């Protein structure tokens, strides 16, 4: 008798169904490089190779450009070219901001960093590092004054980061806001931080010699803060203090700033200084006192070049009216504006004419009388050789009206 069939085996194959079926091995499909699929793969491979190669070559060029930054003969254009490598040369660019680096390379490195900043490739700490290392404060004042002077001492301060904003692709000084104060001036209004204002910064102020007893040295301290204005980053930075010292010399005479009187210089200055009536299309009244005013605002006009500096008080004189009436002062240096043609200087509006000095309206003749003031010359650091003589301008016709 034949053996009984196995109930677990397949009636067709006679194999156990729980046993996995082995499929015959098949060879992988061959790529036909001449077909559409092969062409697509070839194009993709070419793109990857070319793109990677370009990045590799760009990286090599960027690294070579960054390595050139440490060479003393590197040019400005080579320094600016480093920005094309992004952050590749960032460390070396910051190294060029050191104080001992020559100004040309230092300035170019600052320009390159400003471009990277504009491209938003820096973090906040790096942005603050640019401002801190590039921050410059320039004082404009004398360092020694006569102890006997009484005129207020004029001091000005320029501050900012000068290499910012040299191209459209870079962060500019106007992209920063500043708040600042001065200590040591004996003026309470200058010791409080100012409201935030966009840069670059400029400050002018005066100090009274009598507020600084003793010969000194006396020190004025400038403190500034900076922050971005309208940029994606947000931070606030306290910058290093900058100080300026000055002293008073009891042996220095106030009159020593005056130059020697000279007939040729006197004639040249007399021909260069005059008073001019208002040139405005719509005349603005020039107040004389509460009752009378000039129809139009006159100015002192000076033709360049001058043979000596001027630091003179201004008095106005009306023909037929007794007395001279003080109206401010003028400071003009010999070299200033030598190629810009005549310069116009405003006449002060204080003090006013006494009541009753002018009795009627109508036409008058007016001139200005300029008297040298050595104290004014010492107060302005640009004055070096003060003309000592008195200057009388030619007469001009003016009209006085009631206010």
Q: How far apart are CA 76 and CA 288, in angstroms?
A: 57
Q: How many Å apart are CA 317 and CA 395, to the nearest integer?
A: 9
Phi-psi region of 257 (alpha: psi -120 to 50; beta: other; left: phi over 0): alpha
**Domain boundary pick from 195, 227, 252:** 252
Phi, psi at residue 92, to the nearest 5°?
-70, -35
Q: Are residues 321 and 273 in the same domain?
A: yes
The single residue listed with the structure tokens 């060479």 is 71
What pLDDT is stored for residue 12 in this prediction?
Answer: 46
Taking residues 273-295, report their average pLDDT. Answer: 82
18 within some domain: no
Residue 333 in any domain: the answer is yes
Same domain, 207 and 344: no
| Digit-coded pLDDT (tens) for 210-227 | 999 889 899 999 999 999
Whether residues 273 and 246 share a domain: the answer is: no
Q: Is the pLDDT of residue 106 over 70?
A: yes
Q: Are residues 283 and 394 in the same domain?
A: yes
Name the 3-class secondary structure at 245: strand
Which range scores top for mean pLDDT: 45-49, 244-248, 261-265?
244-248
Q: Which of 187-201, 237-251, 365-379 has the lowest mean pLDDT?
A: 187-201
DSSP H helices in 287-395: 374-379
- Reply yes or no on whether the pLDDT at 56 is more than 50: no
- Better-scored residue on pLDDT, 55 or 179: 179
The two tokens of residue 275 are 């008073």
In whole angstroms, give the CA distance from residue 40 to residue 155.
74
d(CA 105, CA 300): 44
Number of domains in the chain: 3
* 247 and 268 both lie in a single domain: no
In this predicted structure, the answer to whether residue 149 has a pLDDT above a threshold of 60 is yes
Q: Does 342 reside within a domain?
A: yes
Question: Which one, of 349, 370, 348, lies nearest residue 273 by Cα?
Answer: 370
Say which residue, 272 or 62, is predicted with more confidence. 272
Residue closest to 372 by CA, chosen among 73, 151, 129, 176: 151
Domain for residue 27, yes or no? no
State yes or no: pLDDT of 107 exceeds 60. Answer: yes
Let me know if residue 219 belongs to a domain: yes
- How many Cα atoms within 13 Å fall on the side-chain side of residue 205? 20
At residue 348 the predicted structure's pLDDT band, cuts being 50, 70 and 90, is: confident
Is the pLDDT score of 306 beyond 90? no
My answer on whether 192 and 319 are in the same domain is: no
Among 221, 220, 180, which Cα is nearest to 198's? 180
Under a CB-based contact definition with an 8 Å cutoff, are residues 191 and 147 in contact?
no
Point out the domain boundary residue: 252, 271, 294. 252
Question: How confident is the model at residue 249, as a pLDDT?
Answer: 94
Its domain, for residue 102, covers 47-122
Q: Are residues 267 and 389 in the same domain?
A: yes
149 and 87 within one domain: no
Tens digit of pLDDT for each residue in 3-38?
555 555 544 445 555 555 566 666 556 655 556 666
Cα–Cα distance for residue pair 164/94, rounded to 1 Å: 14
Label residue 139 by pLDDT band (50, 70, 90): very high
Domain C-terminal end among 90, 122, 154: 122
Residue 242 in this model has a pLDDT that exceeds 70: yes
pLDDT of 142 over the 50 cut: yes
Q: Which of the four pLDDT bands, split at 50, 70 and 90, describes residue 368?
A: very high
Of 105, 106, 107, 64, give the one whose Cα is nearest residue 84.
Answer: 64
Q: Give pLDDT, residue 97.
A: 85
CB contact at 8 A, 309 and 337: no
The token duo for 113 is 């960093």
Identify which of 398, 394, 399, 327 has the alpha carbon closest to the alpha carbon of residue 367: 394
């Amino acid at each position: 008798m034949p053996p009984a069939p196995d109930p677990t085996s397949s009636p067709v194959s006679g194999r156990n169904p729980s046993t996995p079926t082995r499929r015959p091995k098949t060879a992988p499909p061959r790529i036909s490089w001449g077909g559409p699929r092969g062409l697509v793969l070839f194009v993709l491979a070419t793109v990857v190779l070319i793109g990677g190669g370009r990045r590799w070559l760009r990286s090599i060029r960027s690294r070579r450009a960054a390595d050139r930054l440490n060479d003393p003969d590197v040019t400005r254009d080579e320094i600016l070219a480093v920005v094309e490598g992004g952050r590749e040369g960032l460390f070396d660019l910051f190294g060029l901001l050191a104080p001992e680096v020559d100004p040309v390379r230092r300035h170019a490195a600052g320009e390159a960093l400003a471009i990277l900043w504009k491209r938003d490739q820096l973090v906040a700490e790096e942005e603050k590092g640019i401002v801190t290392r590039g921050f410059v404060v320039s004082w404009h004042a004398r360092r020694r004054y006569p102890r006997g002077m009484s005129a207020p001492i004029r001091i000005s301060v320029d501050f900012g980061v000068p290499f910012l904003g040299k191209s459209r692709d870079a962060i500019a000084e106007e992209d920063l806001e500043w708040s600042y104060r001065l200590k040591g001036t004996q003026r309470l209004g200058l010791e409080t931080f100012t409201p935030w204002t966009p840069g670059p910064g400029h400050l002018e102020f005066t100090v009274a010699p009598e507020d600084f007893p003793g010969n000194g040295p006396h020190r004025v301290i400038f403190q500034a803060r900076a922050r971005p204005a309208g940029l994606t980053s947000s931070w606030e930075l306290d910058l290093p203090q900058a100080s300026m010292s000055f002293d008073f010399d009891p042996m220095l005479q106030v009159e020593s700033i005056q130059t020697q009187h000279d007939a040729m210089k006197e004639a040249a200055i007399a021909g260069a200084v005059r008073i001019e009536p208002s040139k405005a299309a719509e005349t603005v009244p020039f107040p004389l006192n509460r009752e009378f005013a000039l129809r139009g605002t006159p100015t002192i006009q000076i033709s360049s070049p001058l043979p000596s500096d001027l630091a003179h008080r201004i008095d106005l004189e009306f023909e037929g009216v007794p007395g001279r009436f003080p109206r401010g002062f003028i400071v003009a240096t010999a070299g200033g504006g030598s190629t810009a043609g005549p310069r116009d200087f405003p006449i002060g509006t204080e003090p006013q004419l006494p009541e009753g000095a002018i009795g009627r309206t109508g036409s008058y003749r007016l001139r200005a009388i300029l008297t040298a003031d050595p104290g004014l010359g010492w107060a302005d650091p640009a004055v070096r050789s003060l003309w000592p003589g008195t200057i009388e301008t030619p007469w001009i016709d003016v009209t006085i009206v009631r206010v």
